A = this chain, B = another copy of it.
Amino acid sequence: MANDAFKALAHPLRRDIVERLSGGVATVGDVTRDFGVSKPTISRHLKLLEEAGVVSRVIDGRTHRLALRPEALAEASDWIESQRERWERLFDVVGEYLEERKERG
């Protein structure tokens, strides 16, 4: 599920859509108006974002209200952070080792 979040965020237009939605709920038409792309194209991007769990959809009559799903975003950034921290931690150990060597001469 959240695995697909990265794939979803890989496309610049989809990142723009995410930024748009972070500013508030919007309909397909709203998003289409904001970017110079056809509605079917926006529709497909939104579907992909939804399937990746990044976006939720509430259908109200003939309009769809799209919103961010912060859990998916959190999962994605958590994964990145865990990798980064693992690497940083490793670096600290190497740093300590070099420090130790230096002290010993």
Contact = CB atoms under 8 A, between A and B. Distances in A.
Contacts of A73: 80-81, 83-84, 87
Nearest to A12: B3
- The quantity of this chain's copies bound in the complex is 2
Given A73-B83, A84-B74, A10 B12 contact: no
A55 to B, nearest CB: 11
Contacts of A12: 3
B76 A22 contact: no
Nearest to A70: B84
A19 interface: yes
Nearest to A86: B22
A80 B83 contact: no
A9 to B, nearest CB: 4
Given A22-B86, A68-B83, A70-B84, 13 more contacts: A9-B80, A21-B87, A22-B87, A22-B90, A23-B86, A68-B87, A70-B87, A70-B88, A73-B80, A73-B81, A73-B84, A74-B84, A76-B80
